[in-house]
Structure 1
Amino acid sequence: MNPSATTLQDVVIKFAGDSGDGMQLTGQQFTNNTALLGIDLATFPDFPAEIRAPIGTLPGVSGFQLHFSSDRVFTPGDIADVLVAMNAAALKVNLKSLKKGGKIIVNTDGFDAKNLRLANYPEGVNPLEDGSLEGYELIKIDVTKLTREALKDIPDLGTKERDRAKNMFVLGFVYWMYNRDLDNTIAFLKDKFGKKPAIFDSNVKVLQAGYNYGDTTETFSARYTVEKAKMPAGTYRSIMGNQALSMGLVAASEKSGLPIFLGTYPITPASDILHELSRLKHFGVRTFQAEDEIAGITAAIGASYGGSIGVTTTSGPGMALKTEAMGLAVMLEIPLVIINIQRGGPSTGLPTKTEQSDLLQAYYGRNGECPMPVIAAATPSDCFDAAFEAVQLAIQHMTPVILLSDGYIANGAEPWRFPQSADLPAIAVQFKTSLAEGEEKFMPYQRNEKLARPWALPGTPGLEHRIGGLEKQDITGNISYDPDNHQHMVKLREEKVNRIAQYIPD
């Protein structure tokens, strides 16, 4: 059967299961399929901190939420219309975020006695049978059994290998439900498993089996479609926040003519920026994975002192460790971009959960009077512009800049329109290369109208000067312990940051 599709304006769907059930991949593939149709969207991946969380338990649930619409989308949605639950724990964790009357698609194999016990259901209680889900439209599918049946003709696969493909069955069924084709996902599987034909064939078979199950089972009579969104003309792609940040940094590098140097230490949820920039080395990007947070930022400071765009990335706990070096960058007055992808705190806190609680840390979390401009990204695609602006401000005003994002933005995705190079402003870089006419000696803290000091690269003849964390004498840059000079320098550094507002368009 092939019922006609009902047109909806928007849908929020959440895929949930064990961290090994492939829910992130399933959500990403449905997202890519949606984006290629020109439908606006926003996503929210939600996964455990552990690499492989305990199977079947509440803390081990991994989820991926997608909001897609024919209208503009600004959030992944608060309440889901559809919940895909691969086991009892996934249902228990996510039922509260499903609207009344919403659809629940469950893998019945994930509701056996063991899974119910691990999900802390009372003995003898099964939510699929006790009437507690009467307010919802319950779609029960034995995904595990049907996946194994679809692969019965591939003898080389054991039960474990067959079960790994069950997320493809769910994806195929949801593609059928929302009137999609399978071509782009098959192309993805070909690219990923082209050299492993058995794995490629098994995933495609199960994907098609899920689609055909919806198409041939009379139990399901409803199909849906969402029209293309009206968006400005251009070339679009689906992009995550950390990807957009990385591309914004590279764009700023191209527009300034300076190489990017990333000095960092891996920390969730900022590590993807290191991964992404490492893939962009053909743009002159240099990445350095340091032994700790302090080494990461001080390496970036050294790169900036040497004439590169120094960048360091971290999250809340790492931000705390970087504070002394941030003060050094303020004292040196050199360009530096410090990116904090916020997560739940304090201390190690919630590594994979989001929180926007580091704003006051960004403003005031350093010893002494240590002002820095702070930029905050609003959406995943806005991360591109925020990163570009952070580099622009750092260079033009000779200051470290803090860029705030969070795990929700970093791992979320939305359509992003490729900017034209001509639409991005040039970033003027003015290295001081020699003494000016009539200048007898280099004055490293002499300032321009922005109160920015000269950027003189080490080794430039005649421009040798002292650096370090000790207070500098105004203009000369000599070490000074004079209280009046210190107060004067504090005011100058504060006013320099305040003046940045005059150069930001309304």
Structure 2
Amino acid sequence: MSNSSIQNIEDVVIKFAGDSGDGMQLTGTQFSNNTALFGNDLSTFPDFPAEIRAPIGTLPGVSGFQLHFSSNRIFTPGDACDVLVAMNAAALKANLKGLKKGGIIIASTDGFDAKNLRLANYPEGVNPLEDGSLANYQLHTIDVTKLTREALKDSTLGMKEKDRAKNMFVLGFVYWMYDRTLESTQTFLNEKFGKKPDILESNLKVLQAGYNYGDTVEAFTTRYHVEKARMEPGTYRSITGNTALSYGLIAAGQKSNLPLFLGTYPITPASDILHELSRYKNFNIRTFQAEDEIAGITSAIGASYGGHMGITTTSGPGMALKGEAMGLAVMLEIPLLIINIQRGGPSTGLPTKTEQSDLLQAYYGRNGECPMPIVSASTPSDCFNAVFEAFRIAVQHMTPVIFLSDGYIANGAEPWRFPQSADLPEIAVKFKKGLEEGEEQFLPYHRDEKLVRPWAVPGTPGLEHRIGGLEKQNVTGNVSYDPENHQVMVKIRQEKIDKIADHIPPQTIELGPEKGKVLVLGWGSTYGAIKSAVLDLLSEGHEVAHAHIRYMRPFPKNLEEILHNYDKILIPEINNGQLIKIIRDQFLIDAQGYHKIMGVPITKGELVIKIREMLQ
């Protein structure tokens, strides 16, 4: 038994990295769940190849999972790592630049043989574990494969099946290193492999072996302990953006008493929403995996026309394919949710890398004058409330709504405090049940004070009316080619969207003074990096503030007023400058941008440097 000491620390950033077949995503997810159950605040960033099985041992095939956990509130997965778990040479090479000087490297030695070194493009005869190049780090080598096989020497499983448990050895060891229990992962394994006793036993044995290894090896003299975070009391769980989004849709369906219909086509990184919602048919949810993107959205339009809430999910390439059908939904003026989990583009682009790529597409990417409201989420847990609000706007304003998330939010995780159903607002839905007294015929485009037309379910006696993509005559809904009528309808459709600003909350300042030198204006997944950077600069006494936009179209009515309260505006985006174009266009403000288009999030450190430049 080792005589290791336990050192209390405030926060840690760990990155698990290896081949896409090494189970690094599962390892990271399990450690995240354990961390959430323990009570730390956390933020994660899964990063994996686009290929289902990327080339083994190569740099493009590296799969990583970065996890930041702390006894304090945190908002990003961390700029640099304290610990790097490298299952092979490629994982070390791809991630070493992101490790702090003096950081800990845990290297699986079997992944550094001659073949793996060659595949990772190390020069002939060079092994970084042996040549002194890692002298600035705390290097610990473990022969994970050998120790895994040793733990399973009595198992009847084949060698390949035994080796699949390697990630459990690493997970068990890291649990020991950070003073954790194995209970959460033991429960997970029992649930997952309960009907496969040989596989269950092998994973449990190797998990325990990894934990015991820390206790028995003298090289590891220090364990670390991170206290529980000081967070608002309540029941928490670790949740990813796509899961929170799915739960938000379920909650909105229950609060509106509307059946949900998801018509969609699988596409990374949106497919998890289909998988999740398909598990909840008991909440009056129907899911339909269509043959293509167009069939997905048009089936959802049909569901909305029939009195359900139609939803479709996609990413950038699918948004392009759905464009004509979105125009049809705008012409029909029916509720519909188009959920875009953005990724790097154009074309197929970077399927598994994050990017705020589609804001301009959401604004303008359809033929004709085709305005639609746009709502965006800022963090994984925020997806719940943001999509709930997008749902409300769609049904109460009889319009399709675009909801924007991205790969970073969708796959990332953070603690989520369970809301109580009683605390969620009801979503009032009004169907037209028949002709009212004195009403001689149904006028499908007769509008209320919000310019919203009635929702009439097909088959309702007396409410027969035309639908389709041809221009509608104002009020009657008949087909019209009249030029004056077309102009009237274009203006009405735009005014209807603009009026939504009367029914959304005003823009608020997240942090900082209401007037000052620099306002950092963000949207979507830049939230954590901006908030962390602004907190640091505020602690130094700088006049800097942070505002984050959820309602991307229309903007909150007071946004322009807020922008004029600061000397300079900085808009960081994971694109080549999209929100900044819209802000300059609408408000004639000379905002400055910070643009990063590398498939990874903007870091706190990058923004601190940029804001300091603007403060000078």
TM-score (norm 2): 0.81
Per-residue deviation, 1:215: 0.9
- In structure 2, the partner of 1:447 is 447
1:8 paired to 2:17: no
**d(CA) in 2 for partners of 1:505 and 1:19?**
43
Q: Distance in 1 between matches of 2:279 and 2:429?
A: 26
Aligned partners of 2:172 and 2:182 also within 8 Å: yes
Say yes or no: does 1:56 pair with 2:57: yes
**2: CA distance between counterparts of 1:4 and 1:105?**
19
Counterpart check, 1:371 vs 2:371? yes
Indicate conservation of the 8 Å contact 2:335/2:395, yes or no: yes
For 2:451 and 2:107, locate their aligned partners in 1 and report how far apart those are by CA, in whole Å.
Answer: 62
Look up the match of 2:332: 332
Question: 2:484 is aligned with what amino acid?
Answer: D
Instruction: State the alpha-carbon separation in 2 of the partners of residues 227 and 109 from structure 1.
Output: 34
Q: How does 1:292-303 map to 2 (within 5 A)?
A: 292-303=292-303
Partner of 1:382: 382
**Distance in 2 (alpha carbons) for counterparts of 1:371 and 1:437:** 34
Q: Give the partner amino acid of 1:6.
A: Q
Are residues 2 and 181 of structure 1, via their aligned partners in 2, closer, same or farther at CA, if it must alter by over 3 Å? farther
Task: Report 1:302-341 matches (<5 A).
Answer: 302-341=302-341
Separation in 2 of the partners of 1:204 and 1:11?
26
SS of the counterpart of 1:310? strand
Q: Distance in 1 between matches of 2:282 and 2:175?
A: 37
Q: Which moved more, 1:201-210 or 1:264-273?
A: 201-210
Partner residue in 1 for 2:242: 242
Post-superposition shift, 1:505? Answer: 2.1
Matched residue of 1:239: which SS? strand
- The normalised TM-score by structure 1 is 0.99
SS of 1:322's partner is: helix
SS at the partner of 1:263?
A: strand
Deviation at 1:210, TM superposition (A): 0.9
Cα offset for 1:273? Answer: 0.5
The residue type paired with residue 29 of structure 1 is: Q
Q: Which amino acid aligns with 2:41?
A: D
Which residue number in structure 2 is paired with residue 41 of structure 1? Answer: 42
- Paired residue total: 505
Counterpart Cα distance in 2 of 1:449 and 1:105? 64
Distance in 2 separating the partners of 1:57 and 1:254: 47
Deviates more, 1:197-206 or 1:390-399: 197-206
Distance 2:65 2:223 in 1: 22
Identity of aligned residues (%): 80
Q: Describe the SS at the equivalent of 1:432.
A: coil
For residue 243 of structure 1, what is the amino acid of its counterpart? T
| Residue aligning to 1:119 | 120
- In 1, Cα distance between the equivalents of 2:372 and 2:181? 50
State how far apart, in whole Å, the 1-side matches of 2:410 and 2:64 are: 16
Q: Does 1:147 align with 2:148?
A: yes
> What is the distance in 2 between the residues matched to 1:283 and 1:451?
32
| Structure-2 residue corresponding to 1:96 | 97
2:145–2:163 Cα contact (<8 Å) kept: yes
Structure 2 partner of 1:167: 167
Matched residues in 1 for 2:499 and 2:82: separation?
A: 48
- Separation in structure 2 between the aligned mates of residue 289 and residue 142 of structure 1, nearest angstrom: 44
Separation in 2, partners of 1:116, 1:440: 81
Q: 2:88 is matched with which residue?
A: 87
Distance 2:450 2:422 in 1: 26
Cα distance between partner residues in 2 of 1:61 and 1:395: 44
Q: Displacement, 1:3?
A: 2.5
Q: Secondary structure at the match of 1:456?
A: coil
* 1:183 and 2:166 aligned: no
SS at match of 2:128: coil
Report the residue type matching 1:56 in the other structure: G
Query: Distance between the aligned counterparts of 1:271 and 1:183, measured in 2?
Result: 30
Match of 2:408 in 1: 408
Which stretch of the first structure deviates more once superposed, 433-442 or 362-371?
Answer: 433-442
Give the counterpart letter for 1:146 in structure 2.
L
Q: Which residue of 2 aligns with 1:489?
A: 489
Q: 1:192: which partner in 2?
A: 192
Letter of the 1:283 partner, please give it. F
Residue 18 of structure 1: aligned partner: 19
Q: What's the offset of the Cα at 1:4?
A: 3.0
Stretches (4+) displaced over 2 A: none
The answer to whether the Cα contact below 8 Å between 2:337 and 2:402 also exists between their aligned partners in 1 is yes
Question: How far apart, in 2, do the equivalents of 1:399 and 1:162 lie?
Answer: 54
Give SS of 1:455's match: coil
2:248 is paired with a residue whose SS is helix
For 1:333 and 1:279, the matched residues in 2 are separated by 30
- Name the residue aligned to 1:108: 109
- Contact 2:57-2:120 at 8 Å conserved across structures: yes
Q: Is the 8 A contact 2:4 2:220 kept in 1?
A: no
* Partner secondary structure for residue 7 of structure 2: strand
**Aligned-partner Cα distance in 2 for 1:160–1:484:** 72
- Equivalent residue of 2:115, what SS? helix
Question: For structure 1, which segment, 228-237 or 321-330, has the greater mean C-alpha deviation from structure 2 after superposition?
Answer: 228-237
Deviates more, 1:314-323 or 1:489-498: 489-498
Aligned equivalents of 1:277, 1:413: Cα separation in 2: 18
State the Cα distance separating 1:472 from its structure 2 match. Answer: 0.7
Matched, 1:399 2:364: no
What's the CA shift string for 1:251-288, capped at 9, x where partnerless? 01000001000000010110110000000111010001
Trace 1:401-480 onto structure 2 (pairs within 5 A).
401-480=401-480
- 1:91 positional shift: 0.5
Quote the offset at 1:2 in angstroms.
4.1
Deviation per CA, 1:143-183, whole angstroms, max 9, x where unpaired? 111111111122x1222111111111111110011000111
Alignment of 1:67-82 (within 5 A): 67-82=68-83
SS at match of 1:356: coil
RMSD in angstroms over aligned alpha carbons?
Answer: 0.9
Q: How far off its partner does 1:212 sit?
A: 1.0
2:327 partner SS: helix
**Matched AA of 2:4:** P
Structure 2 residue matching 1:93: 3-state secondary structure:
helix
Q: Shift of the alpha carbon at 1:236?
A: 1.1
Per mean C-alpha deviation after superposition, the further-off stretch among 2-11 and 162-171 is 2-11
Tell me the distance in 1 between the aligned counterparts of 2:201 and 2:288: 39
The alpha-carbon deviation at position 43 of structure 1 amounts to 0.9
Please name the residue that 2:595 is paired with. none
CA distance in 2, matches of 1:225, 1:181: 12
* Inter-partner Cα distance in structure 2 for 1:505 and 1:230: 29
Secondary structure in 1 matching 2:351: coil
Counterpart residue type for residue 35 of structure 1: A
Q: Report whether the alignment pairs 1:265 with 2:265.
A: yes
**2:219 alignment partner, SS class:** coil
- For residues 258 and 303 of structure 1, the distance between their equivalents in structure 2, rounded to whole angstroms, comes to 11
* Partner SS, residue 149 of structure 2: helix
What is the letter of the counterpart of residue 57 of structure 2?
G
Distance in 2 between residues matched to 1:72 and 1:203, nearest whole Å: 33
| Counterpart residue type for residue 193 of structure 2 | F
Q: Deviations over 1:103-136 (max 9, x none)?
A: 1100011000000000011111111111111111
Structure 2 residue ranges without an equivalent (≥5):
507-616
